Amino acid sequence: MIDVKFAVETKDGNWFENINSIKECFNHDVKKIYETTFGTKQLLIYDNGNSQYNFNFMNGYFTVEALQQLQTYDTKHSIIYDYHMELIATEIDIMLGKECCIKIGFPVSFRRVKGRKPVSSIDSKLSEKTTLKNILKEYHYQQYDSIFLDIMVLDGTYMKSFILKRDNELNKEDIKFNRMVKGKCPCRPYGADYKWLDYLQTIDYEE
């Protein structure tokens, strides 16, 4: 069981960190809740101005444990917009082994051109029906400074896209070392984004 952590921004502008549960978060007048388990502040939910909260599924990465806590709390208090609860359930299913279409690769940036995506890729892997754990075990992301990860449920109701960076939340010394040591040296440290990818491979899938 991973030690899940949260931070809260309140409606009056105060900030609370190192919170252990969603329930504890709502001891405050919540404007936004962040998951901070891996060292980054990943926006989890935010006040939508209509007495409920939206799930930030497009831009954040989270633990199963955090999302399940959110489900449990919402069952009792109905705080999350209904459609967003469906997205949370889908995200949990994917992290617990639901097969979907996944593409992973090393992004190569090029100049922005109107109407054109800003990122192309090399050395990518696409599987139209696989699990997160399987594709991550087959793709050696640790050798790259950044990767993209695209996830789409087979019925087209859920799609998510990430750019994940090796150095995210590393200290200055480790970042300097990574830039000095070229190539695929396994000694190169990595930060929060890649730790989340490691975490995904530790999840036990239910039969």
Write the pLDDT tens digit of every residue in 187-199: 666 788 999 999 9
| Mean pLDDT value of segment 90-95 | 95
- Strands 100-109, 42-47: pairing kind: unpaired
Alpha-carbon gap, residue 104 to 4, rounded angstroms: 26
Alpha-carbon gap, residue 203 to 97, rounded angstroms: 9
3-state secondary structure of 84: helix
Residues 32-48 pLDDT 10s: 999 999 989 999 999 98
pLDDT band at 111 (very low <50, low <70, confident <90, very high): very low
Alpha-carbon gap, residue 22 to 9, rounded angstroms: 13
Residues 141-198 pLDDT 10s: 888 888 999 999 988 778 999 899 877 666 566 556 556 665 556 566 678 899 999 9
Residues 126-140 pLDDT 10s: 899 999 999 999 898
pLDDT given for residue 116 in this prediction: 46
Determine if the pTM surpasses 0.75. yes
pLDDT given for residue 110 in this prediction: 44
User: Between 94 and 174, whose confidence is greater?
Assistant: 94
pLDDT band at 122 (very low <50, low <70, confident <90, very high): low
Q: Which of 44-53, 104-113, 156-165 has the lowest mean pLDDT?
A: 104-113
Q: Is the dihedral of CA 118, 181, 133, 41 positive or negative?
A: negative
Structure tokens at 58: 């497009």
Helix, strand, coil abundance in the chain, percent, nearest 5: 30, 30, 40
